[in-house]
Amino acid sequence: MEFASQVLALEPTSQLLGKEPIVPFAILLVVILVVPILFERLRLPGLVGLVFAGVVLGPSGWNLFQTESTMINLLSDIGLVYLMFVAGLEVDIEQFRRRKNRSLGFGSFTFFVPLAVGTLIGQAFGFGWITSILIGSLFASYSLLAYPIISRLGVVNNEAVTIAIGAKIFTDTAALLILVICVAFAHNDTFNLAKLLLLSGWLTIYAVCVLVGFDWAGKEFFRRSGGDEGNQFLFVLLSVFLAAVGAQLIGVEKIIGAFLAGLAVNEVLGEGPVKEKVVFVGSVLFIPIFFVDLGLLIDLPALITSFTTLKLTIFIVLGLIGSKLIAALLAKLVYRYNWQETLTIWSLSVPQVGAILAATLVGYRAGLLPPEVLNSIVVLMLVTSTLGPFITSRVAVGLISSVTAEQVSTTLPEPNIEATDHAFKILVPIYNPHTQQNLVELSALLAHQANGRIIPLAIATAAAHMDAPQLEASLQRSERLLAKATAQSRVLGVEATPLLRIDDAFAQGISRAAREQKVSLIVMGWGKRTGLRARLFGNVIDNVLWASHCPVAVTRLVESPKKIQRILVPLENLLSPALQPVQLAQMLAEANEAQVTVLNVCDRRTSSSKIAARRSLLSQMISKLALPNPPEIQIIAHENAAQAILQAARLYDLVVLPFIRNRTSPGGLAISDVTTQLARQLTCSIVMLGEPQRTSTLALPSAVPSTTAAV
């Protein structure tokens, strides 16, 4: 009896949990946390796992989620809006301006050819003209899913890659315009010119108001907000949803407003911490829920059992891949690109992820696209999101070996810039007494080698009243740390100018002090905040990297810097002008009489002649640094760059890495860069050198004395 009463008592609880919306939300969080990780371990894009999870959890699988769920539909709509906003935000306007004419040319090829092929496929399967044209427009746009790969390889500045990036503005905008027109005439059997002109007029007025008005409002708000990232973040979100509401008021889809809002605040946000937080919130929560909801709509039995649907899917996949190849071949003929460049821009234009899925869902909800087209487009997304980056990783490597010595001399800026109005100065923020000694010691070695000085910086966080007890305690602690750092510098034979600053935040205080003191380099210790809170709100290192005017060396030292004898500098590509890690490593090596090795990892299938060419190219690049003792150059052929570097690093005391931020693609689908993997797995000392956001030259000394005793 007692057991039965307990069961009866639990029954209302289980019924309550079944009706409680927090239960499916909790399941969604587990899915978007676990599934992408599992699929990335299988070398598949995380979005493939999210869509697959939607199929498994939806009506075609376990039927845990229903497509008519109010909560899931709301979160999915937010993700849909967010996806298109990020698509507009990630448009590289600068790349478009650099090669405007050729970007428009390739954009026309890769838009109209797939548009025609998609329309013909729609007509061949008996769809109406509006549906057929909409299918063609879905073919026209593309997602730069492989951007992290070409960024890591250092071929972003290749002209063919540049026009592929710039052409995305044209294809996305044109595809969305066709979507607007098709949805407007979704239920009309005849073409209505008056309605089209009216819609065009309202859309033009609305676009001007958003692009001009939001841009002006954003600049004014950011200027007056005083660097308050929280308020700036809320302003951006408000802009997105106001634009979406405005679009619905004039009778067009809300994703149009979201895309225009992204374009409007693109230059306002720039490449800063607020943009990173905006993209992070969407890519971690809302956009993955959109992909899961998309999986709920897939009718898996119909896709497998229906011969018509299967045939349509095959035609759509092959039609898209073939039409993009034709567009790339046209660009080859017109602009005289070689085969490596042609295949690279083809592979970049193949992935269909962001805009196509948003437009597909809108067309499906509007009744323009039948379920079999929805199923086929999702399969297209799964195939192209895997195939495109795979091809890019294979063919874009060839762009490196095709660079000649003359091109290197014209594309490589002089990295050794003398400080003209001040001596070489290193700012050393100190806070943790346990890591302070090694941090000051490393800075002293570099400053001694460059005949400069160090500036130990301690920051006391400001309080409402300058006589507050907590501020007084913070000042006393800072003074003790500065006294210790000054004494240590004196022992090491380096001039030190201690600086005590009262500021609202550590990151702002560091970047402002660095600018005020006109320092050449900031040397910081590794922060411990690496979890969700650090990613969402940023840590001190992130914010200093965003705001600083000079390079920032982020260090994790496991032993005294004076004991370092072997230094490894992995270079991920041979086109990037970022050779400052080599220069920094050589400064430290001269101080310690140590040896520097520059390592480049190429594909394991690279021929011996190409390896020799890479070695020669790398030697020419390093020779421009005018180092008195050039480093050793090592080329390794390996299938995994990170693993090759980890194996080589076992013989070294220090690894100097360039800190490269990934451009985040819509949906948070960017591939992790090698630096991030190495920083997590290396056990020796690490220095990650981050360059300032708005300048590409460093104030490191141009000549390192060859005969200097170790400090």
Instruction: Give the Cβ contact number of residue 123 at 10 Å.
Output: 16
Query: Which candidate, 29, 316, 337, places its Cα nearest to that of 163?
Result: 337
Check pLDDT > 70 for residue 690: yes
- For residue range 123-135, list pLDDT tens digits in order: 998 888 888 998 9
**Is the confidence at residue 363, as pLDDT, over 80?**
yes
| 544 CB-near residues (< 8 Å, 6+ apart) | 507, 510, 511, 522, 524, 552
**Alpha-carbon span 551 to 567, nearest angstrom:** 19
Least confident span in 96-100, 193-197, 504-508, 690-694: 690-694
- Lowest-confidence region among 2-6, 44-48, 394-398, 638-642: 2-6
Q: Which amino acid is at 652?
A: Y
Contact 162, 96 (CB under 8 A): no
Render pLDDT for 441-500 as a digit per residue (tens, 0 to 9). Answer: 888 888 888 888 899 988 887 766 676 777 778 788 888 888 888 888 888 888 888 888
Specify which of 187-191, 226-230, 551-555, 656-660 reaches the highest per-range mean pLDDT: 551-555
User: Are the beta carbons of 565 and 592 closer than 8 angstroms?
Assistant: yes
Q: How far is CA 9 from CA 5, 13, 14, 16, 22, in A?
A: 6, 7, 10, 12, 21
- Report d(CA 496, CA 672) in Å as an integer: 39
Residue 693 pLDDT class (50, 70, 90 cuts): low
DSSP label at 710? -
Task: Give the Cα separation of 454 and 491 in Å (integer).
Answer: 13
Average pLDDT, stretch 161-178? 84
Q: Which of 272-276, 378-382, 428-432, 637-641 has the lowest mean pLDDT?
A: 272-276
- pLDDT at position 154 is 67
479-494: pLDDT as tens digits: 888 888 888 888 888 8
Asked if residues 361 and 294 have their Cβ atoms less than 8 Å apart, the reply is: yes
Let me know: does 121 contact 139? Beta carbons within 8 Å. no
400: tokens are 């490196």
The residue whose two tokens read 């940023």 is 538
C-beta of residue 424 within 8 angstroms of C-beta of residue 451: yes
Task: Please tell me the predicted confidence (pLDDT) of residue 443.
Answer: 87
Q: Which of 592, 636, 642 is nearest to 618 (CA)?
A: 636
C-alpha to C-alpha distance for 157 and 152, rounded to whole angstroms: 12
Contact 170, 220 (CB under 8 A): no
And the tokens for 458?
A: 């301690």
> Residue 116's pLDDT band (boundaries 50, 70, 90)?
very high
Quote the pLDDT of residue 17. 43
Alpha helices (H) along 336-370: 339-349, 354-365
Does 66 score more than 80 pLDDT? no
Query: Number of C-alpha atoms within 13 angstroms, CB side, residue 330?
Result: 17
pLDDT attached to residue 189: 52
pLDDT at 95: 67
pLDDT at 679 over 80: no
Q: Would you say the C-alpha torsion 231, 234, 240, 246 has a positive or negative sign?
A: negative
How high is the mean pLDDT of the chain?
A: 77
Asked whether residue 244 carries a pLDDT value surpassing 90, the answer given is no
pLDDT at 121: 92
Average pLDDT over residues 388-399: 80
DSSP, residue by residue, 27-73: HHHHHHHHHHHHHHHTTS-HHHHHHHHHHHHSTTTT--S-TT-HHHH
Cα separation, 665 vs 86, in Å, equals 8
Q: Cite the DSSP H helix spans in 366-519.
A: 371-395, 398-401, 405-411, 433-449, 469-491, 506-517
In the predicted structure, residue 12 carries a pLDDT above the cut 60: no
**Residue appearing with tokens 């080859």:** 332
So what's the pLDDT on residue 473?
81
pLDDT at 100: 79
The DSSP 8-state label assigned to residue 601 in this structure reads E
Rounded to an integer, the average pLDDT of 659-671 is: 46
Question: What pLDDT does 76 receive?
Answer: 83
- For the stretch 564-583, pLDDT in tens is 899 998 876 655 445 778 88
Question: Token pair of 486, please?
Answer: 């000054």
Q: What are the Cα distances from residue 37, in Å, to 34, 48, 512, 535?
A: 5, 11, 39, 17
Distance CA 434, CA 378 (A): 53
Rounded Cα distance between 158 and 153, Å, is: 11
Domains and CATH numbers, the chain: 23-187+285-402 (1.20.1530.20), 425-690 (3.40.50.12370)
| Ramachandran angles phi, psi of 576, nearest 5° | -70, 135
Global pTM reads 0.67
Provide the pLDDT for residue 322: 93
Q: CA–CA separation, 415 vs 138, rounded Å?
A: 44
- pLDDT grade for 83, boundaries at 50, 70 and 90: confident
Q: How many C-beta atoms surround the C-beta of residue 687 within 10 A?
A: 24
Residue 119: the pLDDT is 92
- CA-nearest of 165, 118, 84, 93 to 355 is 84
**For the residues 225-249, what does the mean pLDDT come to?**
82
Q: Give the percent of the chain with pLDDT over 70.
A: 82
Tokens read off for 412: 């490589």
pLDDT of 527 reads 54
Task: Tell me the pLDDT tens digit for each residue of 284-326.
Answer: 888 888 888 888 888 777 777 778 888 898 999 999 999 999 9
Residue bearing tokens 């609880």: 13
Report which residue type is found at 302: A
pLDDT higher than threshold 60 for residue 665: no
CA distance 440 to 485: 7
Instruction: For strands 453-461 and 499-503, give the pairing.
Output: parallel
Is there a contact between 342 and 276 (Cβ–Cβ < 8 Å)?
A: no
Give yes or no for a contact between 218 and 243, defined as CB atoms under 8 angstroms apart.
no
Q: For 22-64, what is each residue's pLDDT tens digit?
A: 777 888 888 888 888 888 777 777 777 888 888 888 887 787 7
pLDDT value of position 487:
87
How would residue 405 be classed by pLDDT, with cut points 50, 70 and 90? very low
